[in-house]
Amino acid sequence: MRKSEKEFTEQNLFNIKKLFYDKLAMNEPPTVTRSDSSFYPPILYPSAQTKKSMNKRKRYRKAIYIPVTAALSLCLVTGAAASVGIIDLSTVLHFLGVDRIGILQPVHQVSEDQGIRMEVIGAVRDGDTTEIYVSLSDLTGHRIDDTLDVYDYRVTGGNANNAQIIHYDDANKTAIVRFLIQGKVSKNRITVQINTLMSGASRQDGYNVQVDWEQLLQEKQNNSYDIVDQDRISGLGGTTDIQLETDPIPVLHQDVTNVPVEGIDWMHISNIGFVEGKLHIQINPNNEIGEYNHGYFYFTDEQGQKLDIPEYSVSYGHYMKDGVGYGGDYEEYVYDLSAVDNLDKLRIQGSFTSISEVVQGNWKTTFNLSQNALSKTGNIQLDANGGLQANVTLSPVGVTLTGEALSMIRMEDLSIEVHLKDGTKLTGESGFLQLDQDLIKWISPKTIPVNDVSYLLINGEKVTL
């Protein structure tokens, strides 16, 4: 979620929020309407976004699914749990297999705040990857559910973080979150800190936006606009060739209109119009709940069919100067309608996600975690012309791919087979996670016996280790 030893910034928060809701949008069935929809996704935060990778951000994100296996009793001794002497990790991580639990180091560190209990259950380090399992329980209410979003968090070490709710125990109102940290850790001392939790996320589709298309088209060539300063941009995403560092970014004048969206009370359309041939829709969210809620607009034709329109969005407005905060937080959606006939027949609709619960606090634990250094390495050519190559590292947890331009690979297009010396194999067509533009991780559903591995097949190509 941040570069090692640097401050966590507002831009990091935006990237996490935007990617989370992009995923939310992509996974929602297109026929859902706001009269009957609610959405409870697995939470995924690919959060190590550089400016370059924000410009190239994809709209697909593959969640990691860990198969539920029968749990056997496995007791592990730890000095950290001196008061009890033994921790039975299988009782709290029963969705993992015994072999996976076997490589975890029990931690049993607890932090409580705002009536919510955070416990770091167990963790493992395999070279550059750290995997940490944390339970979150509400001691006073019902703020922890299966929509839990660990929104603002940090883990020391590494340059790419991911937090995902992978199990929810409804009887005990407890969520298990797995933190995945990629990057070299210089010390064995690890700190996990959570500052903001969100729950109750529900996405509703089909909000109607009343727009006077005749007036918009009449004013299409006459709209004036601003060029937003670089230091006022907190995020850029979608399909665009804009280079954040160098290109001017046009936006509409702020707060020219106040167009409500029926059924949404946390934001309004603060301006709408064409700039350089593209339609801009500017919204001004409420400073409180609007900071966490999110959504997007889309277009349908006369038959109600959703149209595939190239679009991008830019977030801007709030900035600091001489220690003083100025402006608000605006989101501007930009649509290229140049290939659409009969613009006056279009219909704008919205799809928005609302959060019912936001809890801010300070949950923090620090613990020692030694490294499992067992690994094997190799390399692979991922395209026919040899322009896309990657280094491969096999560890007990999974396989890491590193190399230039890996952000161009779709996670859905990757497959892997781990072939053992006895002729058996482990396979995976899911479990791939892009942690950074040049780094992909595959998490194995089972612990890999590294010394017993003969070779890998990645997309059918043999990797000699």
pLDDT at 59: 27
pLDDT tens digits, residue range 159-211? 667 888 889 988 888 999 999 887 766 678 899 999 999 888 777 777 888 88
pLDDT at 362: 96
φ, ψ of residue 411 to 5 degrees: the values are -60, -30
pLDDT at 29: 33
pLDDT at 15: 44
Query: 163 with 150: CB under 8 angstroms?
Result: yes
pLDDT at 319: 54
**Side chain identity, residue 318:** H
- Direct distance between the N- and C-terminal alpha carbons of the chain, in angstroms, rounded to an integer: 31
Distance CA 392, CA 379 (A): 5
Count of CB atoms situated within 10 Å of the CB of 305: 9
Q: How many residues does the chain have?
A: 465
3 state SS of 81: helix
Distance CA 90, CA 75 (A): 8
The H helix count followed by the E strand count for the chain is 5, 32
Query: 137 with 177: CB under 8 angstroms?
Result: no
| Residue stretches of the chain with pLDDT short of 70 | 1-88, 127, 158-160, 184-186, 287-291, 318-328, 373, 384-387, 429
Distance CA 164, CA 436 (A): 16
Residue linked to tokens 């015994």? 98
Distance CA 365, CA 289 (A): 28
Of the candidates 202, 251, 186, the one whose C-alpha atom is nearest the C-alpha of residue 225 is 251
pLDDT at 278: 92
Q: What is the pTM of this model?
A: 0.58
CB proximity list for 465: less than 8 A, separation 6 or greater: 376, 377, 378, 392, 394, 453, 454, 455, 456
pLDDT at 325: 58
pLDDT at 356: 80
